[in-house]
Structure 1
């Protein structure tokens, strides 16, 4: 990555990486109730997750968020790699938004009041895709 590319991406990567890292660190020691809420919500959208214990799921989720945040914050990680990580993470979150009843207005992509907290993750998807495109087109 050139220093110009890094400078151009720095604000986006630092702000997004710090946010995602902080979120993961907050889930690292989730209590049983929080773990069950996270697991129940995710497994209702992604049934394969039902096989995991709630505490194990919360630990894996925290690790995924910590890793994604760290990848974004690490200047030596190419933009395309950081973009793929963030795009995948955001895609999973938007899957929750799209598939969870009550998150969207009837017959619409627009969020209900309850869905607003997940709908905002579309920004993470945009940032991830921007990093990916920037990395593929400029990091040579």
Structure 2
């Protein structure tokens, strides 16, 4: 088996992958109340989700998190691909933080106590962007060297 992940990416990919996979697995069999809460928060930030059934939304979110977590954990998934997926997913989470009332202190980006859980998603975004930048810069260097 050929690994496409740089060895120094493994610790961060394992940590983030396990976190995201666990999040997806915890939503897999969500009850109606949990699904309504997850859907309500997403629909409040992203109105195009309003007409979606909460159970369907939560099931799809669970599957997306399970797929992303698994991709991060598997070393043969290229870091550029895993980083792009993590960047897209976490950008949505950061958007949720920025768009949901009560998550930020008045007039700024600093989180409220309630927003701290979502504010940490900026780390996921930074990790995704970091994986992407390194992989894209590495490809650019190899073209110049060749």
Q: Distance in 1 between matches of 2:99 and 2:48?
A: 14
SS at structure 2 position matched to 1:51: coil
Q: Is the 8 A contact 2:4 2:79 kept in 1?
A: no
Q: Distance in 2 between matches of 1:97 and 1:60?
A: 20
Give the equivalent residue in structure 2 for 1:54. 54
Indicate the structure (1 or 2) with the bigger Cα radius of gyration.
2
Give the equivalent residue in structure 2 for 1:77. 77
For 1:103-139, what per-residue CA distance to the aligned partner results, in whole angstroms no more than 9, with x for missing partners? 0011001101111000011100011011111221225
Q: Is the 8 A contact 2:4 2:76 kept in 1?
A: no
Q: Provide TM-score, normalisation by structure 1.
A: 0.94
Give the equivalent residue in structure 2 for 1:40. 40
Q: Distance in 1 between matches of 2:5 and 2:72?
A: 14
For 1:3-37, what per-residue CA distance to the aligned partner results, in whole angstroms no more than 9, with x for missing partners? 69521100000110011001100100000000000
Q: Is the 8 A contact 1:79 1:134 kept in 2?
A: no
Q: Distance in 2 between matches of 1:5 and 1:134?
A: 11
Q: Distance in 2 between matches of 1:66 and 1:3?
A: 21
Distance 1:3 1:68, change over 3 A: closer
For 1:46-97, what per-residue CA distance to the aligned partner results, in whole angstroms no more than 9, with x for missing partners? 0111121010000001011011101111111111111111011111111110
**CA RMSD, 1 decimal:** 1.6
Q: Distance in 2 between matches of 1:108 and 1:121?
A: 17
Distance 1:38 1:137, change over 3 A: same
Give the equivalent residue in structure 2 for 1:31. 31
Q: Distance in 1 between matches of 2:74 and 2:84?
A: 14
Q: Count residues in correspondence.
A: 139
